[in-house]
Amino acid sequence: MSAGRVSIRSEDFDLGTEVAALRRGDAGVGAVAAFIGTVRERNDGAAVKSLELEHYPGMTEAAIEAMIDEAMRRFEIRAARVVHRIGVLAPSAQIVLVAVSAAHRGEAFQACEFLMDYLKTQAPFWKKEAGPGGSRWVDARVADDTALARWGIAAGNAAERAGDAPDKR
Amino acid sequence: MKVAVRYFASVREALGAGEDVEIGAGASIAALRDALVARGGRHAEALGRQRLLRGARNRVLCAESTTLAEGDEVGFFPPLTGG
User: pLDDT per residue over B49-77, tens digit each?
Assistant: 999 999 999 999 999 999 999 999 999 99
* In-domain check, residue A169: no
Residue B27 has pLDDT above 90, yes or no: yes
User: pLDDT per residue over A50-93, tens digit each?
Assistant: 999 999 999 999 999 999 999 999 999 999 999 999 999 999 99
* Contact criterion met (CB < 8 Å) for A167 and B10: no
Domain that includes residue A87, residue range:
6-164
Interchain contact A119–B (C-beta under 8 A): yes
B 44-83 residues with CB < 8 A to A: 52-56, 59-66, 75, 77-83
* In-domain check, residue A155: yes
Cα separation, B3 vs A62, whole angstroms = 21
Q: How confident is the model at residue A44 (pLDDT cuts 50, 70, 90)?
A: confident
Report, as an integer, the average pLDDT of B14-37: 98
List the CATH number of the domain containing A19: 3.90.1170.40
Residue A1 has pLDDT above 80, yes or no: no
| Residues of B in Cβ contact (< 8 Å) with A156 | 54
* In-domain check, residue A144: yes
* In-domain check, residue A27: yes
Cα separation, A50 vs B64, whole angstroms = 34
* In-domain check, residue A76: yes
Nearest to A155 by CA among A145, A163, A141: A145
Minimal CA separation from B39 to chain A, in Å? 21
B43 Cβ neighbours under 8 A, 6+ residues apart: B15, B36, B37
Angle at A60 between CA A59 and CA A61, to 5 degrees: 95
Minimal CA separation from A136 to chain B, in Å? 9
Domains of chain B: which residue ranges?
A: 2-77
| Closest residue in chain B to residue A121, using alpha carbons only | B80
Q: How confident is the model at residue B47 (pLDDT cuts 50, 70, 90)?
A: very high
DSSP state for residue B21 in the 8-state scheme:
E
The pLDDT of residue A45: 87
Structurally, chain A folds into a number of domains equal to 1
The pLDDT of residue B60: 97
Q: How confident is the model at residue A3 (pLDDT cuts 50, 70, 90)?
A: low
Q: A95 — alpha (psi -120 to 50), left (phi > 0) or beta?
A: alpha
Residue A94 has pLDDT above 50, yes or no: yes
pTM, entire model:
0.93
Exposure string (b/e) for B50-63, b if CB count within 10 Å is 16 or more?
A: eeebbbbbbbebbb
* In-domain check, residue A67: yes
Give alpha helix (H) positions in chain A: 15-23, 59-74, 105-122, 142-149
* Fold of the CATH domain B2-77: Ubiquitin-like (UB roll) (3.10.20)
User: pLDDT per residue over A108-163, tens digit each?
Assistant: 999 999 999 999 999 999 999 999 999 999 999 999 999 999 999 999 999 654 44
